[in-house]
Structure 1
Amino acid sequence: MLRRLARDRAAMLGAVLIGILLLVALLAPVLAPYPEDVWQFHTPRRLLPPAPDRLFGTDRMGSDVFSRILFGARITLSLAVIAVGSAVLIGVPIGLVAGYYRNGFSELLMRVSEIFLAVPQIVLAIAIAQTLGPSIQNVILALSITYWPFWARLVYAETRSMRNEVFVESAIALGASPWRVMVLHILPNIASPIIVRTSIGMGATILTAATLGFLGLGAPPPTPEWGRMIAESREYLPEAWWYALAPGLAIFLTVLGFNLLGDGLRDVLDPRTRRGGGND
């Protein structure tokens, strides 16, 4: 599987982009040319165009945009990991329980998830973030609450199809408890679609978080959050074009990386949906 994934150029490009994002997030204080600019105002240097010593110019505070992009990678990545991780921890157990049992409680769980899915995620996330107020913690909470049904429905469908497999029925006949069957027999066999969904979900979460930041519902200033940086640049366009270009490019490359890697993982882990349509 690793060799097949390595032959997928698009997936490798996505992996490289994500690897760069991880390195940037970890080494931001070292890589940033002006780390002290991230949290401070330098009015005499505001809105300077790109130059050799400042690759993406300066913003309305006079801070180096490139340095703020690097530190913003930390916020974006941590936000996406916590939000998606929380959604997985909520949605996967709910999907397992609802798919394994066939009773009124499992139907209730699925009806609750359908209520959340009936409203577009971005609209519901905006409503929750607006109610709670702008902060990174509230963005994570809004994304977690609105995103878990996607994993719940996925795991529910996979568990339903796996419930009648011979090895599951054999485990039940040997006296295995329901939780043992779900955790040790069903979950490992449905891990592939969960992994693929998580990779693609990371990109979607980053995009949604940037949207909330653009609307003023994310991290308060002067936090270097990419969506807020784009929002702040609107009144200075088109003269200060670099101000919006840098965070927009960062969001584009990050989301592209997760989507390309997710597509590659889907091709490797689920041959039925392979883009080439053939067998190796």
Structure 2
Amino acid sequence: MTTEHLLDDRPLVPLRGSASKVPEVTVYFWIIKVLTTGMGETASDLLARLLGPIPAVALGGLALTASLAIQFTVRRYVAWIYWTAIVMVSVFGTMAADVLHVGLGVPYVVSTPLFLTALAAVFALWYASERTLSIHSIRTRRRETFYWAAVLATFALGTAAGDLTATVGFGYLGSVLLFAVAICVPAMAHRWSSLNAVTAFWSAYVITRPLGASLADWMALGHSRGGLALGLGPVTFAWTVAIVGFVGYLAVSQRDRQVAAAV
């Protein structure tokens, strides 16, 4: 799936030659995105088990803040900086959903529509301000702020949605199959129907979270919970190695760097 400019996808002020702060959407983008969602799921659970929930959330929040601070400081897309921030969003987004459910007792059937509402509010504010939600337009600080708010909301929503399906009868493997089918829907609707590229992108982006998280949970959790019992530590390590490998390749090849559009 690729993204396209909307007719109104223009910076609010001239930014000739400005560089994009996010990667181009290629097959590598989707592979790494799914890997980060799964790694974030198991890493969050592992940290909570090793450190306790409160220290884990505090550490995750600090790491997220630091990674986003670096991301906002650089002037263009840098593969390892961007994807480090995505990993930290994944870890903290998982923690946010888990805190509501485990810490505050909010059921997934409530938290899922709650996070969906939060995401819709971010998109509404973003569009009202910028008149576009295209990732090809992330060349101003304000748009980048909206972008990362949306990313954080998608991770929290996807975590809650994935846990919801896993606990209402689908199980983790069933959830993997469900979301694997679901992620094809916006791609096909964009290719063969009238769904615009921006809507298709964000729809698929949301679905990658429960897809990757369900897959990682299925691999890591015990047989009593329908998993392969590979363990949180080994799965987190293996998925991290895979992420590092793909990001390292992109950092060298720069195959996912957007070409700056003329204004």
Kindly indicate whether structure 1 or structure 2 has the higher relative contact order, using CA contacts under 8 Å at least 6 residues apart.
Answer: 2
Q: Same-fold call, TM > 0.5?
A: no
Q: Which has the larger radius of gyration?
A: 1
With the length of structure 2 as denominator, give the TM-score of the two structures: 0.28
